[in-house]
Structure 1
């Protein structure tokens, strides 16, 4: 992509309205209250979508209501950012119903991760509008490191630099090399779910992957599907975040599986990134230009804002 022509998205400032919606599962009312108070302390004006606390099994209400909340926030010119209250399940059911024309006409960031990855992917595929990967808006759950990264990334036009952390298990996956491209991805399961309908071309892109608490066979199957379907053909590099709560199985760890599957791509890999579901996970721009420098163990990401 020609990033000199990327959509112009204004950074957030005091007094800006942000809308909380639940495109996937239902958050607790306490979590929403904490989020609202936190955002107000930042000088923002949070609104809560009318269906944000709906509940229908594992979904935050009916598909049409979750989609309505999301699209209403996108269409409202007074809303400067859309914040997903949580991940969970169900965002994939509405990802193709987003009002892409409204997003192109009035670009704004979507903030979220995990299940929300599929919405980031769909928006990027159709609009090339960047977003924010992370859910650091709940300081009680995420901690100060995460919250500070969130505060910085929503208000700055400076690059975000994420350094590999040697204490992260995925740090051992780091190879060598330096590449530049659009940073696309997030939750590995959602990347695979998007394949064939909501996954943008990854040719020349830096693929970001993270996941939590799945079987090793599931990770093997997911990556193999993406490789053999051609979805990862042309990927310039891979940024590996946190793979949290994975139990060893039959003498293998999730790092063994990742090394085996990612190794066939033959591209630079940078592991050990504090991005995902683990402790001190950072908020970062997604869908912007980035430089993966495996030799210096750093991922430099252009701001989502202009």
Structure 2
């Protein structure tokens, strides 16, 4: 896998919206966080063009992605928010040219589709993490979420354990491999397409927002029957954003589904639609252990 270059103070980065439209004020507040890090921030030309609940028409959102990737003065690309529609532009992306212009590409939720597509067809490490308008606005931003961006500067590896969040082991073991995955719904939607997540020898990250227990069960079953879990090394379960009653049902689904898994499974990671929302590189090597429960991930930059 190709690792993009680390960021330095003074670098130029871009914010784009490959999915839904952004709230202007929230986006401004998030951009100020990057400016405090010493970065110069530009906004994609079509971020506010808004058409049919998308940030812009497909060709315009694609243009922002291509223009920012191919601009040699830009060192990182951060998505403003999720929504829907990223799958529509995946077949039109020039993956070969992205491979020749590697740089940080960061987002989650609906952006999962692009994280996996770029990783699979450009061999580029991508980043699952908090987005500019959604997670860095003044109302919900936390210091822990902000800290997710520091390894992009320091090249440090990441360690997530019970000192940072309450973790629970569903299946014991040790697994090591590339960290892949993202939003469960988007992973399921990608099955049978050229952008399906490659889990062979990998540790799979899953997170979701507001899905009821029966749908979680259906999506996991779909992944299983598609062979996603056949050659996997471990499963990392991020935030599932469900109310207490529904989460109690989801716990039963997870316990039942992974009861006899031949790989380690740990849940409770603050990754996904939550605060704090910790960022992780996808495509780099990771090690998942259960005694104690811990996820260690190699740096995603060089």
Distance in structure 2 (CA, Å) of the matches to 1:303 and 1:240: 20
TM value normalised by structure 1: 0.91
Structure 1: state its 5+ residue gaps.
Answer: 1-5
Distance in structure 1 (CA, Å) of the matches to 2:164 and 2:76: 34
CA contact (8 A) 2:112 2:186 kept: yes
> Are 1:175 and 2:154 an aligned pair?
no
CA contact (8 A) 1:212 1:246 kept: no
Aligned to 1:275: 271
CA contact (8 A) 2:161 2:293 kept: yes
Distance in structure 2 (CA, Å) of the matches to 1:294 and 1:17: 40
Aligned to 2:52: 57
- SS of the residue aligned with 1:242? coil
Distance in structure 2 (CA, Å) of the matches to 1:153 and 1:139: 21
CA contact (8 A) 1:207 1:238 kept: yes
> Are 1:285 and 2:284 an aligned pair?
no
- SS of the residue aligned with 2:82? coil
Aligned to 2:225: 228
- SS of the residue aligned with 2:286? strand
Residue 84 of structure 1: how far off its partner (Å): 0.5
Residue 53 of structure 1: how far off its partner (Å): 1.4
CA contact (8 A) 1:54 1:60 kept: yes
CA contact (8 A) 2:78 2:131 kept: no
Structure 1 consecutive aligned stretches of length 4 or more whose deviation exceeds 6 Å: none
Q: What is the CA deviation profile of residues 180-235 of structure 1, one whole-angstrom value per residue up to 9, with x for unaligned ones?
A: 10000011111111112212321110000111101211111111111011122201
Structure 2: state its 5+ residue gaps.
Answer: none
> Are 1:258 and 2:239 an aligned pair?
no
Distance in structure 2 (CA, Å) of the matches to 1:176 and 1:261: 14
The correspondence for 1:90, drawn from 81, 85, 92, is 85
Q: What is the CA deviation profile of residues 93-122 of structure 1, one whole-angstrom value per residue up to 9, with x for unaligned ones?
A: 112222211211011121111111111110
CA contact (8 A) 2:157 2:296 kept: yes
Aligned to 1:76: 71
> Are 1:34 and 2:29 an aligned pair?
yes
> Are 1:103 and 2:101 an aligned pair?
no
Aligned to 1:146: 145
- SS of the residue aligned with 1:67? helix
Aligned residues: 297
Q: CA 1:147–1:136 in 2, change beyond 3 Å: closer, same or farther?
A: farther
Distance in structure 2 (CA, Å) of the matches to 1:261 and 1:58: 36
Aligned to 1:3: none
Residue 139 of structure 1: how far off its partner (Å): 5.4
Q: CA RMSD in A?
A: 1.9
> Are 1:190 and 2:190 an aligned pair?
no
Distance in structure 1 (CA, Å) of the matches to 2:141 and 2:215: 27
Distance in structure 2 (CA, Å) of the matches to 1:246 and 1:186: 21
Residue 132 of structure 1: how far off its partner (Å): 1.8
Residue 166 of structure 1: how far off its partner (Å): 9.1
Distance in structure 2 (CA, Å) of the matches to 1:94 and 1:226: 23
Distance in structure 2 (CA, Å) of the matches to 1:69 and 1:303: 27
Residue 51 of structure 1: how far off its partner (Å): 0.7
